[in-house]
Structure 1
Amino acid sequence: MTIRSTMPRFRPRSRYLTIAGVLIALAGGVAVAGPAVAADDPPRVPYHEMHADCTVNHTLSDDPIVFPGLPGASHNHSFVGSPTTNANSTPQSLVGGATSCQDSLDASGYWFPTLLQRGVPLQPDQPTVYYKSGVTDYRTVKPFPAGFKLLVGDAHTPDVAHFEGNWQCTGYRGSDIPASCPAGSSLQVRLTAPSCWDGVHLDSTDHKSHMAWPVNGSCPVDHPVPLPMLEIKLPYPLRNGDTGGLAYSSGPSYTFHYDFMNGWDPARQAYLVSYCINGGRQCNGFGVDPKKP
């Protein structure tokens, strides 16, 4: 069973800056070079991310990326971010609108299949979408371009062995929903997106091919532009750790996927990518890193 790690892929740093400390031996006039001193390039930092903290604001059987202009054509989705996202939405129609995210200038549409427990909808407490660096040089990450769309994961995933995300609760991490969780624990699903853009297409026929995964910490030549690496985290509340009867509107747990339609104010997103990701910070949902102002 192959499970893609949610951690960005890094390559070993191999560039070194030699600082020559030259000692002059007065007696013999001999110059002696001091030891080489390694320098990190880029500087090593523990974080380079921002995130969108939002709430679910509506559900619809719509998908404006996969089934544009066709209300009711999709399985049921739970929507966060823009409260108006529907089958007719476009990135242009979202920008400048209302949002259920903490950052008032993020009117993006984020949606995912609705989770049901014994047929009753179960919504996550606070969906979080992380924007991280997926490449070694986090200083090179660019903002999502206006008009950008992306589908992450696949509703047609055939089995749990092919699911690229993971499920977590206290004491458990795996590719499927556990038989139970400890009382008081939430059940989280996480799924990461590829972060290298072809630099041309804002969407593609399968809504995926305009993006690719980094290779050894760098973007491949056919997808050379590093964009933020999205990772969604959905914490579902459980009653006494009960995970029985859980299934998505799209099918079993491994059919989980999500969509992103860029509705950011361009200047705000550009600032946050520069300040938080390029700046090596860990910004909260308001775009602030309290530990590194």
Structure 2
Amino acid sequence: MDCGRNEGRIFNSDNVIVAPGVSNGAQHTHDYVGNESTNNQSTNESLLAAGTTCRNGDKSTHYWPVLRALGQEEFDADQRGGGLDLNVGKILTPVQVQITFKGNPTAKVVPAPQFLRIITGNARVNGAEHNAGWTCTGFENRQLTDKYPLCPRGSRLVRVFDFQSCWDGQNIDSANHRTHVTFPEADGSCPQGFQPIPALEHRLVYNVPRGPNFAVDGFPEELHKPITDHSDFINLMNEQQMQRVVTCINSGRRCR
């Protein structure tokens, strides 16, 4: 899906999934693509009424911590979520954002429910599921979770987020925002009690300064460690849009 690269610079330091109603609930700045209205006050109804950057009209919300070039000033240097929470530097706009839904190798996928929330990765060093990957173009068979790669000349930095693609069939969220969805087993099948939904992947590509002169936003106490990278998704696709995705995947086609 083509939802742009956040060329419109839609930012805030809220997290409506984890901290609804809390201003600066993330304590770091997020990039947003897709839904144009997402903030801590968002409701399902307000999201459905908003515009979208996605060319196919999908109003789903996709957001992740911004990546910054260190040593350069940004508009939020004196604001919460920015400099006041120790997130400093120029916000880098990705040169490419790929939002892809894939199938399951062992079964046909079922429609994901509207308003489903999924978080992949973990913003806390001491948390679980540190599965966000860092790599470089041309070397994507090798991914790191706990180190920033220094890409060779001619190669670009890549962040990869694979989302949980097994759903419990009942809940759009859970108390810890984790247990209603999970990753497939080693053979690709979903655990007992879960069913496969379209597998979302965010792939972000950046031009970054030479050397270790960039960092991802995070909670102040997490010290911008790459292992804290994460990404978030709220499904706002209507029944017709989701069915198109499911039909495309289950028929083995590649669609846009």
Does TM-score exceed 0.5, indicating one fold? yes
Query: Post-superposition shift, 1:222?
Result: 2.3
1:168 maps to which residue? 135
SS at match of 1:80: strand
Write the deviation string for residues 150-196 of structure 1: whole angstroms up to 9, x where unpaired. Answer: 1111001349x973232222454330322x32333221110211211
TM-score for the superposition, normalised by structure 1: 0.71
Contact 2:216 2:225 in 1 (8 A): yes
1:278 maps to which residue? 250
Corresponding position: 1:101 with 2:51: no
SS at match of 1:95: helix
For 1:150-229, what aligned pairs fall within 5 Å after superposition? 150-158=118-126, 163-172=130-139, 173-175=142-144, 176-178=147-149, 180-215=150-185, 216-223=187-194, 225-229=195-199
Instruction: Tell me, in whole angstroms, the C-alpha distance in 2 between the residues paired with 1:243 and 1:229.
Output: 34
Write the deviation string for residues 75-113 of structure 1: whole angstroms up to 9, x where unpaired. Answer: 211111111111112333222532112222x11111101
2:66 maps to which residue? 114
For 1:1-293, what aligned pairs fall within 5 Å after superposition? 51-56=1-6, 57=8, 58-74=10-26, 75-95=28-48, 97-104=50-57, 106-118=58-70, 119-137=89-107, 140-158=108-126, 163-172=130-139, 173-175=142-144, 176-178=147-149, 180-215=150-185, 216-223=187-194, 225-239=195-209, 242-250=210-218, 251-274=224-247, 276-283=248-255, 287=256
Query: Post-superposition shift, 1:272?
Result: 2.4
Identity among equivalent pairs (%):
35
Contact 1:143 1:228 in 2 (8 A): yes
Query: Post-superposition shift, 1:237?
Result: 1.6
Q: 1:98 to 1:280 in 2, by over 3 A?
A: same
Structure 2 gaps of 5+ residues are: 71-88, 219-223
Higher mean displacement: 67-76 or 161-170: 161-170
2:85 maps to which residue? none
Q: Larger Rg: 1 or 2?
A: 1
Instruction: Tell me, in whole angstroms, the C-alpha distance in 2 between the residues paired with 1:91 and 1:221.
Output: 30
RMSD (Å) for aligned C-alpha atoms: 2.1
Letter of the aligned partner of 2:44 in structure 1? P
Instruction: Tell me, in whole angstroms, the C-alpha distance in 2 between the residues paired with 1:244 and 1:134.
Output: 37
Instruction: Tell me, in whole angstroms, the C-alpha distance in 1 between the residues paired with 2:190 and 2:202.
Output: 21
Write the deviation string for residues 251-280 of structure 1: whole angstroms up to 9, x where unpaired. Answer: 221111011011213212212221x21110
Instruction: Tell me, in whole angstroms, the C-alpha distance in 1 between the residues paired with 2:143 and 2:96.
Output: 21
Contact 1:197 1:211 in 2 (8 A): yes
Contact 1:185 1:238 in 2 (8 A): no
1:24 maps to which residue? none
Instruction: Tell me, in whole angstroms, the C-alpha distance in 1 between the residues paired with 2:90 and 2:126.
Output: 24
Contact 2:109 2:196 in 1 (8 A): yes
Q: 1:272 to 1:234 in 2, by over 3 A?
A: same
Count of residues in Structure 1 that have an aligned counterpart in Structure 2: 225
Higher mean displacement: 198-207 or 91-100: 91-100
Structure 1 gaps of 5+ residues are: 1-50, 288-293
